[in-house]
């Protein structure tokens, strides 16, 4: 994809001159064309791994997408395979008691991979608790990423180094942080793009509304990426929203919305690459809804059989994003045996790293309780820290 | 002892020039005819609390290009209390601007800006209108530094015009400081004087920790004889640090009144009235609830042997409770009487015509002082 050559510089927020019409026209489309989502989902590779004819990709004027290049697709497939391995390894580690909890994105790996790969260095990602694979795909060390679920601290990686927010549990609160990061960048005239992730249930939250509205009013370069996996723990989408689609919500804010098959990595890359490019060129925010499915329960503590039928799960297994992508790449001659072996080895190496990391006993320092509450501990915290140290030393003495 | 003395000749530093309705409401029902602040002293000096805050904001914008201000109506209008008056015109819309009307959005966006190198100073229009932002404040503003092991700092100031005494209608007069003080990771500053308004706001903006900056709105138009140039020079020289340093606002020997923000002038008026009756009260202005200055507060109580905590907030599970507990834990053997509290009642903030029954008054403070077991 082409990269923006120039930045627009500081723009007075909310003024008509900040509107994206010019940038949109540069892509040969009008705001009316691109603002409303397509009637169905954009799908480039079908469930059998075949390229759909252009007329059947679900596109419309303003919604045509070029097929990403082979090397980009192969690199994405490698991350997809690693992502699947990460999900399965982490679920196993939870069962073995090595992690407190793991919200698996099994089945949603195409979304995870595309969300990170559409960004370039310096762009920010704001993930939820289920987006560990996206976090790792953005370059975060797997063991550091899993610190939050191993339970020895809340955030294990350096957000500033990786430009990745801490995986966020309070729903959609992180979307506003994405808006703030983008706003700061825009005020300084930088061309940073921010991708903010949430799920279908989260779109009911107030911060979802406030984030989209702020991003649109200030014309900020934020791509809001909703993984619609059909359920908010147990509550189905039909009980969550009466909108024609979640992507349609964008129109009310004056931003474009797009719907895409969330198990089609090719379509995801095409749509998100375009969205990021538009945002970087000053078109303002974009809302992308990806239709996908959480194959496993919400977490290991959840029992999905209480709210969904096995037949439904089986139907989605047939749409598996990894198998589909592999078929497409193999049939197109883009993936040979040697490459597959290399990718499998890379996935296994990541799994080994995770096993070693989670099985190691990370040193825990109880004084960390007090160390980071403020940049400098208050006198009260100094006192409490001394009290805990004393208590621990007395325990040590009686051993 | 007489409880009817009204401090007509008080020499307290802070005076009030609050709206007429508020003054009338204040005076309507106190049995002494005055709920606290002597109305006669309105011409002491040229600088209002509002002007001091406005000057601090302008100086901070001048000093650091990373400082950015936003909120509801703070741009073109200058804020409903005019605290940001003129800042947009002077510094431009990239430095001080209006946002959509959504408090969680304002705070959440500030979190992201703070993550990305800015120092946001944001305004919640009124105390009770900050509640939609509580999740962002409690879950992110307060915790981000800790969650990230110090990698993500939150250098932001959330300005909250707060508390009563202005005859405001419901949802405009809450004392919300206890919610924030109860949340680890937040600092809570409550200035009570014009000079502190300037220096504490500058300090809050320069802090790398998030600060809830509680502005007693009944003091906005109080005046003090201060030299803003001198305050600026003093701040820039680093000789006026207020964080974690309570101030002895009035020296005394018989008992200590511990107060903050809107209650400080009331406590000073009470001390003046008590002096007329031959009782010497010391007044300690807490200034920053978090971090709390145990040392200064306890030194005063150890000296006087008696203490009354004065705060406008409903008393149950409040900052006033915390101060009372801390004092008795630390000063038990110096105390001649239990630490008492004069606070608002445990009721929702009252309607304008009832607020004078609720607010701590000179009389209530003097009554509490009388109850400090003076005779064996």
Q: What is the pLDDT of residue B34?
A: 38
pTM for this prediction = 0.90
B356 is catalytic: no
Quick one: A66 exposed, middle or buried, by C-beta within 10 A (0-12, 13-18, 19+)? Answer: exposed
Average pLDDT over residues B186-214: 98
A347, pLDDT greater than 70: yes
pLDDT in tens, A153-195: 998 999 999 999 999 999 999 999 999 999 999 999 999 999 9
Both tokens of A94, joined, read 């939870």
Q: What is the pLDDT of residue A236?
A: 96
Q: What is the pLDDT of residue A344?
A: 98
- Is B121 within 8 Å of B212 (Cβ atoms)? no
Q: CA-to-CA distance for B311 and B77, rounded, in angstroms?
A: 32
- Nearest chain A residue to B115 by CA distance is A181
Q: CA-to-CA distance for A137 and A82, rounded, in angstroms?
A: 9
**B11 band by pLDDT with thresholds 50, 70 and 90:** very low
Least confident of A1-5, B65-69, B288-292: A1-5
Rounded to 10°, the helix A70-95/A265-280 angle is: 110
A6, pLDDT greater than 70: no
Choose the catalytic residue: B172, B182, B333, B356. Answer: B172
Q: CA-to-CA distance for B202 and A365, rounded, in angstroms?
A: 35
Q: What is the pLDDT of residue A15?
A: 35
Q: What CA dihedral angle connects A40, A46, A50 and A54, to 10 degrees?
A: 0
Q: CA-to-CA distance for B357 and B350, rounded, in angstroms?
A: 9
Mutate to test the interface with A, among B100, B105, B211 (most CBs of A within 10 A): B105
B259, pLDDT greater than 50: yes
Q: What is the pLDDT of residue A31?
A: 58
- Is B243 within 8 Å of B291 (Cβ atoms)? yes
Helix (H) or strand (E) holding B227: none
Q: What is the pLDDT of residue B27?
A: 40
Choose the catalytic residue: A307, A308, A330, A355. Answer: A307
Average pLDDT over residues A348-354: 98
Q: CA distances (Å), B77 to each of A265, B72, B83, in order?
A: 49, 9, 10
SS3 B311: strand
A2, pLDDT greater than 60: no
pLDDT in tens, B88-113: 999 999 999 999 999 999 999 999 99
Q: Does A181 touch chain B (CB under 8 A)?
A: yes
- Is A270 within 8 Å of A44 (Cβ atoms)? yes
Contacts of A12 in chain B (CB under 8 A): 93-94
Partner B, chain A 358-397, Cβ-Cβ below 8 Å: 368, 371-375, 378-380
Q: CA distances (Å), A337 to each of A51, A85, A116, A266, B52, in order?
A: 22, 19, 26, 21, 73
A327, pLDDT greater than 70: yes
Sorted by where each begins, the domain ranges of chain A are 18-359, 368-398
Tell which wins on pLDDT, B360 or A7: B360
A10, pLDDT greater than 70: no
Exposure string (b/e) for B317-331, b if CB count within 10 Å is 16 or more? ebbbbbbbebbeebb
Q: Which residues contact B168 (CB under 8 A, 6 or more apart)?
A: B126, B217, B352
What residues does B314 pair with on adjacent strands? B344
pLDDT in tens, A108-163: 999 999 999 999 999 999 999 999 999 999 999 999 999 999 988 998 999 999 99
The alpha-carbon gap from A365 to the nearest alpha carbon of chain B, in Å, equals: 12
Q: What is the pLDDT of residue A34?
A: 66
Check residue A17 and report its DSSP letter: G
- Rg of chain A's alpha carbons, rounded to an integer? 22
Both tokens of B164, joined, read 């009563």
A5, pLDDT greater than 90: no
Q: What is the pLDDT of residue A33?
A: 64
Q: What is the pLDDT of residue A360?
A: 92
Q: Does A210 touch chain B (CB under 8 A)?
A: yes
Q: Which domains can be identified in chain B, with CATH numbers?
A: 47-236 (3.40.50.970), 244-370 (3.40.50.920)
Rounded to 10°, the helix B49-63/B228-236 angle is: 40
Quick one: A3 exposed, middle or buried, by C-beta within 10 A (0-12, 13-18, 19+)? Answer: exposed
B347, pLDDT greater than 50: yes
Sheet holding B340-344, edge to edge: B247-250, B281-285, B255-259, B307-314, B340-344
Q: Which residues contact A394 (CB under 8 A, 6 or more apart)?
A: none
pLDDT in tens, A25-72: 555 555 566 678 888 899 999 999 999 998 899 888 778 888 999 999
Helix (H) or strand (E) holding A87: helix A70-95
Q: What is the pLDDT of residue A38?
A: 85
Least confident of A27-36, A359-368, B201-210: A27-36
End-to-end CA distance of chain B: 17
**B375 band by pLDDT with thresholds 50, 70 and 90:** confident
Report whether CATH 1.20.1260.10 matches the domain A18-359.
no
Q: What is the pLDDT of residue A14?
A: 35
B124, pLDDT greater than 90: yes
ipTM confidence score: 0.92
Q: CA distances (Å), A53 to each of A56, A57, A315, in order?
A: 5, 7, 24
Q: What is the pLDDT of residue B35?
A: 38
The pair phi, psi for residue B362, each rounded to 5°, is: -55, -45
Q: CA-to-CA distance for B157 and B163, rounded, in angstroms?
A: 18
Both tokens of A228, joined, read 């619609």
The alpha-carbon gap from A69 to the nearest alpha carbon of chain B, in Å, equals: 33
B210, pLDDT greater than 50: yes
Looking at chain B, the whole-number percentage of residues with pLDDT higher than 70 is 88
- Nearest chain B residue to A185 by CA distance is B116
The alpha-carbon gap from B143 to the nearest alpha carbon of chain A, in Å, equals: 7
In 10 A of CB B82, how many CB atoms? 17
**B33 band by pLDDT with thresholds 50, 70 and 90:** very low
SS3 A260: strand
Choose the catalytic residue: A298, A324, A326, A328. Answer: A298
Looking at chain A, the whole-number percentage of residues with pLDDT higher than 70 is 91
The pair phi, psi for residue B125, each rounded to 5°, is: -65, -40
Both tokens of B84, joined, read 């940001």
A3, pLDDT greater than 70: no
A200, pLDDT greater than 60: yes
Looking from the CA of A34 toward its CB, the CA atoms found within 13 Å total: 27
Cβ–Cβ gap B100/A210 under 8 Å: yes
Least confident of A30-34, A216-220, A278-282, B134-138: A30-34
SS3 content of chain B, % helix, strand, coil (to 5): 40, 15, 45
């Amino acid at each position: 994809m082409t990269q923006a050559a120039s930045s627009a510089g500081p723009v007075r927020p909310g003024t008509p001159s900040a509107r994206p019409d010019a940038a949109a026209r540069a892509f040969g489309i009008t705001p009316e064309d691109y603002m409303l989502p397509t009637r169905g989902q954009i799908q480039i590779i079908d469930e059998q791994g075949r390229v759909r004819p252009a007329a059947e990709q679900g596109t419309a004027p303003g919604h045509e997408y070029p097929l990403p290049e082979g090397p980009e697709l192969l690199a994405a497939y490698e991350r997809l395979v690693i992502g699947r391995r990460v999900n399965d390894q982490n679920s196993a580690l939870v069962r073995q008691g090595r992690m407190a909890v793991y919200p698996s994105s099994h089945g949603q790996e195409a979304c995870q991979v595309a969300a990170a790969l559409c960004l370039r260095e310096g762009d920010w990602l704001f993930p939820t608790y289920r987006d560990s694979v996206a976090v790792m795909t953005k370059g975060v060390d797997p063991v550091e990423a899993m610190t939050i679920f191993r339970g020895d601290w809340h955030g294990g990686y350096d957000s500033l180094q990786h430009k990745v927010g801490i995986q966020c549990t309070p729903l959609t609160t992180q979307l506003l942080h994405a808006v703030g990061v983008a706003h700061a960048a825009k005020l300084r005239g930088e061309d940073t793009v921010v991708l903010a992730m949430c799920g279908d249930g989260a779109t009911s939250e107030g911060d979802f509304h406030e984030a989209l509205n702020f991003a649109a009013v200030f014309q900020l370069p934020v791509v809001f990426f909703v993984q619609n996996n059909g359920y908010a723990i147990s509550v189905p989408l039909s009980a969550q929203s009466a909108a024609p689609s979640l992507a349609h919500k964008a129109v009310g804010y004056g931003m474009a919305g797009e719907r895409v098959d969330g198990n089609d990595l090719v379509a995801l890359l095409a749509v998100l690459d375009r969205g990021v490019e538009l945002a970087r060129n000053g078109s303002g925010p974009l809302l992308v809804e990806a239709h996908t499915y959480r194959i496993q329960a919400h977490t290991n503590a959840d029992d999905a059989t209480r709210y969904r039928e096995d037949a439904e799960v089986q139907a989605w297994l047939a749409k598996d994003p990894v198998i589909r992508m592999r078929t497409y790449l193999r049939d197109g001659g883009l993936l040979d045996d040697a490459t597959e072996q290399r990718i499998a080895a890379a996935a296994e190496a990541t799994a080994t790293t995770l096993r070693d990391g989670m099985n190691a006993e990370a040193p825990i320092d109880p004084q960390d309780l007090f160390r980071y509450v403020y940049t400098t501990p208050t006198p009260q915290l100094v006192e409490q820290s001394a009290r805990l140290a004393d208590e621990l030393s007395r325990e040590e003495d009686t051993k | 002892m007489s409880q009817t003395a009204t401090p007509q000749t008080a020499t307290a530093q802070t005076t009030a020039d609050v709206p007429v309705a508020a003054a009338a409401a204040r005076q309507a029902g106190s049995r002494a005819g005055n709920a606290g602040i002597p109305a006669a002293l309105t011409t002491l000096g040229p600088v209002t609390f509002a002007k001091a805050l406005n000057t601090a904001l302008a100086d901070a914008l001048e000093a650091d290009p990373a400082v950015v201000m936003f909120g509801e109506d703070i741009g073109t209008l200058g804020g409903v209390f005019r605290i940001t008056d003129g800042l947009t015109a002077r510094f431009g819309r990239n430095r001080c601007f209006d946002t959509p009307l959504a408090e969680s959005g304002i705070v959440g966006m500030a979190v992201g800006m703070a993550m990305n190198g800015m120092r946001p100073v944001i305004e919640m229009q009124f105390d009770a209108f900050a509640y939609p932002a509580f999740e962002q404040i409690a879950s992110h503003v307060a915790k981000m530094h800790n969650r990230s092991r110090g990698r993500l700092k939150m250098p932001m100031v959330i300005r909250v015009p707060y508390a009563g005494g202005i005859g405001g209608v419901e949802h405009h007069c809450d004392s919300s400081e206890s919610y924030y003080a109860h949340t680890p990771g937040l600092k809570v500053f409550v200035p009570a004087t014009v000079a502190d308004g300037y220096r504490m706001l500058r300090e809050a903006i320069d802090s790398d920790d998030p600060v809830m900056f509680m502005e007693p709105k009944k003091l906005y138009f109080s005046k003090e004889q201060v030299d803003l140039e001198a305050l600026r020079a003093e701040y820039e020289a680093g000789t006026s640090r207020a964080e974690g340093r309570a101030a002895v606002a009035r020296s005394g020997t018989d008992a200590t009144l511990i107060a903050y923000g809107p209650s400080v002038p009331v406590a000073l008026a009470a001390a003046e009235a008590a002096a007329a009756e031959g009782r010497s009260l010391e007044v300690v202005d807490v200034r920053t609830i978090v971090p709390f200055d145990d040392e200064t507060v306890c030194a005063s109580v150890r000296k006087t042997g008696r203490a009354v905590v004065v705060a406008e907030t409903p008393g149950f599970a409040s900052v006033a409770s915390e101060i009372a507990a801390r004092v008795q834990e630390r000063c038990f053997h110096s105390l001649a009487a239990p630490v008492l509290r004069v606070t608002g009642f445990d009721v929702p903030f009252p309607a304008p015509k009832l607020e004078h029954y609720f607010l701590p008054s000179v009389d209530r403070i003097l009554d509490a002082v009388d109850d400090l077991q003076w005779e064996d």
